[in-house]
A = this chain, B = another copy of it.
Amino acid sequence: MEFSSKLLENAVNEISQLPGIGKRTALRLALHLLRQPKENTHGLSKALNQMVDDLKLCKSCHNISDTELCDICANPMRKTDVICVVEDIRDVMAIENTASHKGLYHVLGGKISPMDGVGPHDLNISSLVEKVKSGSVKELIFALSPTMEGDTTNFYIYKQIKEFEVETSTIARGISVGDELEYADEITLGRSILNRIPFENSLKL
């Protein structure tokens, strides 16, 4: 791409560093910003800078927070002995939306994935093991995606904590509510039969 302006070229190059944004899209976004009042772009830049400069990670659960302890960890109404282990903060937001978890979270910051060069030491696993070791945790809920990497991560953590007295569970895997049975994949359908639950229990939900 030949640019008539170094300033435009520079901005397009920076924008196209973002994941999933190529040069053409970057150019479209840059031209959009140029058509807007300057203040819009200044506002965007300021918000981005403030975010990376001032954002903290909760010292307890590693959730993103503006304070030392995040709102969830600081909330006295939450059960502190039930911890839901998730991959990243988007999962915290998704589970919070369901309002079905009253305990705390522990954000790993990813999952073990040798293909992407992510090992156990790149994740917040040791602080989770410390929490369990201290005896303050009654139940650990593994809420990672049901993929090879998610299962590997679950199992790695499980091996580290199984010697301590703590219950472990994983979120239920089965047919999504509203799905047609005939379109479910074999593994999911097979497991949903093996892991069937008493019918009375399903009525309580």
Contact = CB atoms under 8 A, between A and B. Distances in A.
Interface of A: 1-8, 10-11, 13-15, 17-20, 25, 27-34, 38, 40-55, 58, 63-66, 70-72, 88-90, 92-93, 96-97
B4 A54 contact: no
Given A11-B48, A31-B88, A41-B49, A63 B19 contact: no
B42 A49 contact: yes
**A contact patch SS:** helix
Contact of A28 (B19, B32, B48, B52): B19
Given A2-B97, A51-B34, A44 B15 contact: yes
18 contacts: A2-B97, A4-B89, A5-B64, A7-B47, A7-B51, A8-B55, A10-B51, A14-B47, A15-B47, A18-B33, A19-B28, A30-B48, A31-B90, A33-B52, A41-B52, A42-B49, A45-B48, A45-B49
A43 B27 CA distance: 17
A39 B93 CA distance: 27
Contacts of A52: 33-34, 38, 41-42
Stoichiometry (number of copies): 2
Contact of A44 (B32, B48, B55): B48
Given A45-B48, A55-B34, A63-B4, A18 B29 contact: yes
A48 B8 CA distance: 9
Given A51-B30, A52-B41, A88-B31, A65 B4 contact: yes
Contact of A17 (B40, B53, B63): B40
A43 B89 CA distance: 25
